[in-house]
Amino acid sequence: MKVSVRVRGEWLAIPCGTGDNTIEWLGEESLRRYDRIKLPKQEAPAPDSNHVSNSNGGEDADAAVLPSVAVIRKTRGGAILEPTDFIRDVLDDEDFVSVVLESDRPHPAMVQPGMTFIPEQVPGKFVQPSEFLTLDGSSLTPDDLVTLGTGTLKIRLSTEAEEKVKKSRALVEQIVKENKVVYGITTGFGKFARTVIARDKLDKLQLNLIRSHAAGVGPPLSPEKTRMLLALRINVLAKGYSGISIPALRCLVDAFNASCLPWVPEKGTVGASGDLAPLSHLALGMLGEGRMWSPSTGWGDARYVMESHNLSPIVLGAKEGLALINGTQFITAIGALALSKAENIARQGDVVAALTLEVMKGTSRAFDSEVMALRRHSGQKKVADRLRALLHSDTYPSEIAESHRFCDRVQDAYTLRCCPQVHGIVHDTIDFVRGILVDEMNSATDNPLVLSDRGEIISAGNFHGEYPAKACDYLTTAIHEIASISERRIERLVNPALSELPAFLVKDGGLNSGFMIAHCTAASLVSENKVLCHPASVDSLTTSAGTEDHVSMGGFAARKALTVVENVEYVIAIELLAACQAIEFLRPLKTTAPLEEVIKCVRAVVRPWDEDRFMAPDIEAVRELLREGKIWEAVRHHIDHYTHNQSIETRVFSPTMSFVGEGPPKLEKKRPAASAAAAAPATTKRARTGQRASTQANR
């Protein structure tokens, strides 16, 4: 077996045979090898080393005794290794460890002293996926991209895509051969577009581009986001309009499949001329420079991480640096992740709203299908259909609904009655945003564009990020409303004047505070979202000495969209917890079968409150249920069953409606003739319901 050992920023490959030696031997052997290869007299640590030698150098430095090993840790996770353990028992073949010496002191340039170890970012040992997704530059969806981000699929290029890439590369090479002046190929960039570069410096031009543009700041993207960014850039390059070579493109594919992910800071793009800073960091790692992460190595020098996975860095040719960084893939990848999360929480927000309406003893009559048809918005109809399927019906009767059928409440609050109208526009906006992002994911966004079929290279503006930037801002303002209306429903649940339930949903109020501060948390998140909903894309600052005189600011639009969605998840989690707690005060009455399934799902991770307890873990547990889509999964088959089996819309009596005569006509859904007989019992039951309602209305 072989182990890679890091000493003062240098990586050493240490053969360990069958692993019968101890960890102590590994440390000493690493130190001996390091001593043989280090610079004489005054040793110089690697640029990214977290520790430096405590030796003062001088004439006696060569004769000094080798420093002793202080501690040996696994690079990934930072676990301390016991010196007497055998290597085979605690390390795997091709594992990575870090050695700290007794003579080391904290590097003075480090913000925090001491060695920085790699946090666990994947559970257990990473298992390479075996299934592939083929990228052709034209058919990638947000769902595909999110799945690629999880590391459960590898990617490969379609044969047609490879042919297009080869044709565009041939045109670039012909341009270079003929010494033609073309932006980004034989000229400088931005303000230097009129500066012609000598032919023997074209490769250096591309390398300088990547290094100089890798100027982002802030925390790095997570492995999930970086995978999405890398996969999306590969998809755009696969369209065949970028001029990249097949070897360079395959290097990206191989790095993705090995989960070798460069350090990409999340801040620095203005979203025009593409997402230059983050994509440059992505490209820099592929050149073997900067930092890189993989599940087996953790963070390390990109060249060593690539070498450990038998990968070779890209060697750039003409235009290839520009091809790697010119595009809107940062905005679009983060926007696609926000979109996926928004779709997930929005449909579960419908379910949670239904549960709140049930425990608040509201009525479903406001969701009448004919009323919904009078306002022709598909999202509104979709939400109303879901609410009717979840609430009291002949298919799913509710004892709670039956208990207050003849109450004197004339109207429900807007937060209950207007759910289809408020939630509906959120769903419609999400659908609209999806359309924009799907188009953007499969668009050529380079500059210049290589039109090989025409033998022409054109400088244009497809790199401008206004489309995905605006889409992300639309998504932000839309999904915020799910939390905004949810927080008001939480207020109704915890306020005894509105809910007719114990204050803050807890017994012995005063001694117990119940959901008092949980509601405050929801309110704070909604208020934070209001600020984040200010559109980033309405701003623009001129950059590149006036060359880029209008930019989209889409990077921040995408990042804050994701933040807003995550805040919405917490607010809905709090509403769900509050609604489940509220129903405890209505027992032994039961709600509908689908809503009982929701409560059962929550109670699997959170028990009811009899008295105050540490609440934050419960909020996190329910938020995780929502993130995993388990609340939706609990009711989806119930909704489908209702849709396909209830032949007549249930219209029970409610004080929120009135009529004359024998009541409203029965509303029958279109059904196959073969099922008409099965509908008869339901018709009889509906007739009895109508007679009772009519009698009550005439009193």
Token pair of 280 as six digits: 């440059």
CA dihedral in degrees (139, 325, 152, 437; nearest 10)? -40
Amino acid, single-letter form, for residue 339: L
**Mean pLDDT, to the nearest integer, of 23-41?**
78
Count other Cβ atoms within 10 Å, centred on residue 644.
11
Which pLDDT does position 108 carry in this prediction? 42
Among 113-127, 181-195, 491-505, 658-672, the least confident range: 113-127
Confidence of residue 565 (pLDDT cuts 50, 70, 90): very high
Output the CA torsion sign for 467, 470, 476, 478: negative
Count other Cβ atoms within 10 Å, centred on residue 10.
18
Confidence of residue 690 (pLDDT cuts 50, 70, 90): very low
Amino acid, single-letter form, for residue 17: G
396 is catalytic: no
Tell whether the model's pLDDT for residue 57 goes beyond 70.
no
Which pLDDT does position 71 carry in this prediction? 87
CATH fold label, 2-106 = Ubiquitin-like (UB roll) (3.10.20)
Token pair of 223 as six digits: 């492995």
Tell whether the model's pLDDT for residue 271 goes beyond 70.
yes
Q: What element of type H or E holds 6?
A: strand 2-7
Q: What does the domain layout of the chain look like in residue ranges? A: 2-106, 132-327, 335-442+449-541+549-645
**Sequence-ordered strand ranges (E) for 36-147:** 51-53, 69-74, 95-101, 104-106, 132-135
Which pLDDT does position 303 carry in this prediction? 92
Q: How far is CA 278 from the centre of its chain?
A: 17
Q: What is the pLDDT of residues 510-524, one digit of tens each?
A: 999 999 999 999 999
Task: Specify the pTM.
Answer: 0.80
Q: What is the pLDDT of residues 152-164, one digit of tens each?
A: 999 999 999 999 9
Pairwise CA distance, residues 476 & 568, whole Å: 10
Which pLDDT does position 410 carry in this prediction? 66
Q: What is the pLDDT of residues 368-389, one digit of tens each?
A: 999 999 999 999 999 999 999 9
Give percent above pLDDT 90 in the chain. 66
Which pLDDT does position 654 carry in this prediction? 63
**Mean pLDDT, to the nearest integer, of 660-685?**
47
Domain 132-327 annotated CATH 3.40.50.2300: no
Q: What is the pLDDT of residues 188-219, one digit of tens each?
A: 887 787 888 888 898 899 999 999 999 999 99
Identify which of 294, 299, 298, 287 has the alpha carbon closest to the alpha carbon of residue 325: 287
Confidence of residue 51 (pLDDT cuts 50, 70, 90): very low
Greater model confidence, 489 or 10: 489
Amino acid, single-letter form, for residue 416: L
Given 34, 183, 396, 642, the catalytic residue: 183
Pairwise CA distance, residues 573 & 603, whole Å: 13
Greater model confidence, 244 or 178: 244
Pairwise CA distance, residues 133 & 153, whole Å: 7
CATH number of 335-442+449-541+549-645: 1.20.200.10
Which pLDDT does position 678 carry in this prediction? 40
